[in-house]
Amino acid sequence: MRIGVHVSIAGKIYESLDRAHLLGCNTMQIFSRNPRGWQTSKLEVRDVTEFKRLKLKYDIKPVIVHIPYIINLSTPDDRLYKKSIDAYIEDIERAGVLGAEYFVTHLGSHVGSGEDNGIKRFSKALNEIIKKVNAGIVILLENTAGSGSWIGYRFEHLRRIIDYIGNAKKAVGVCLDTAHAFESGYDIKTKVGLDGTLQEFDKLIGVDLIKAVHYNDSLSPLGSHVDRHQHIGKGEIGLEAMARIINHPKLKNAAFIMETPKKRDKDDKMNMAVAKRICKTK
């Protein structure tokens, strides 16, 4: 079972692996740069070499790189659209250089132009990116809570994007965020609801495409469309349901990554301990 957290890259980027190892992670997620700005710093060869050495030494895999927040492939603004595509290409190439297995992407906001337009813009951009990049990495589409004008809060949105990609489908998978699914209206709190949600996903997309799970409890109630994560077992989904999720046979091959609150230094360690305790596969 692969369980980890989103880890800081403060200092040298390879130090993120030390942090993950000290927390007991055997998988992890990072940003490869500042997620709130357009500027990037060059990845030094010696830092990349050390990153790959520690990844192998600690057996941390998959390593998942998350897209920066500022990129929006669904925007109707042509200038931001082109800038986002260029930045996306740069970021996914950085992830490939680091030897990451997966690149998680949010689906962006249509900014009032309509869901259909946003989905078409995103799909067109992603198709262009896949054709231009050969980083040996799988792009994971992340479902959203559906706040504001964000697309991706229904599984049908992901299905439409994958259909648009066509022959490049092997380059794409899914990262299922549990808090987002719950907040967007999928009742994964009950056994019947979880089974039904995964059955629906399987029918529309295929559960084999779920390569990672953002394993988060929710501070917001079911169907609220408010994206607020909570510690494992302390939110609206609850410990019993979170245990069912991490042990569900249809998710057995996915890497579980927690993006839970980090208000105290011990928060990640606490959530790792809870996840490992309720996970039946040691």
Judged by DSSP in three states, 249 sits in helix
Reported in sequence order, the residue ranges of the chain that DSSP labels E, i.e. its strands, are 3-6, 27-30, 63-66, 102-105, 138-142, 172-177, 210-214, 217-218, 229-230, 255-258
Q: Which of 21, 25, 154, 29 is nearest to 104 (CA)?
A: 29
Is 157 a catalytic site residue? no
Is 177 a catalytic site residue? yes
Is 81 a catalytic site residue? no
Element (H, E) at 87: helix 78-98
Question: Pairing mode, if any, of strands 255-258 and 217-218?
Answer: unpaired
pLDDT at 282: 44
Among 33, 94, 157, 214, which one carries the catalytic annotation? 214
Structure tokens of 122? 């995103």
The fold for domain 3-278 equals TIM Barrel (3.20.20)
Among 2, 106, 157, 244, which one carries the catalytic annotation? 106
pLDDT at 34: 86
The model carries a pTM of 0.96
Is 248 a catalytic site residue? no
pLDDT at 58: 98
Structure tokens of 64? 């998942």
Dump pLDDT digits (tens) for 134-173: 778 999 999 999 999 999 999 999 999 999 987 667 899 9
The amino acid occupying position 9 is I
Q: What is the pLDDT along the chain (282 residues), one digit of tens a residue?
A: 999 999 999 999 999 999 999 999 999 999 999 887 788 888 999 999 999 999 999 999 999 999 999 999 999 999 999 999 999 999 999 999 999 999 999 999 999 999 999 999 999 999 999 999 877 899 999 999 999 999 999 999 999 999 998 766 789 999 999 999 999 999 999 999 999 999 999 999 999 999 999 999 999 999 999 999 999 999 999 999 999 999 999 999 999 999 999 999 899 999 999 999 999 864
- What is the secondary structure of 49-69 as a DSSP string? HHHHHHHHHHT---EEEEPPT
DSSP classification of residue 167: G
Among 36, 78, 264, 265, which one carries the catalytic annotation? 36
Is 214 a catalytic site residue? yes
Is 227 a catalytic site residue? yes
Greatest alpha-carbon span in the chain: 50
Question: Pairing mode, if any, of strands 63-66 and 27-30?
Answer: parallel
Q: How many CA atoms does the CB half-sphere of 220 hold within 13 Å?
A: 20
Among 177, 183, 236, 268, which one carries the catalytic annotation? 177
The residues spanned by each domain of the chain are 3-278
Is 36 a catalytic site residue? yes
Among 110, 121, 160, 180, which one carries the catalytic annotation? 180
Q: Say if residues 36 and 69 touch (Cβ distance below 8 Å).
A: yes
Element (H, E) at 161: helix 155-165
Among 69, 77, 116, 156, which one carries the catalytic annotation? 69
Dump pLDDT digits (tens) for 205-238: 999 999 999 999 999 999 999 999 999 999 999 9
The amino acid occupying position 99 is G
pLDDT at 40: 83
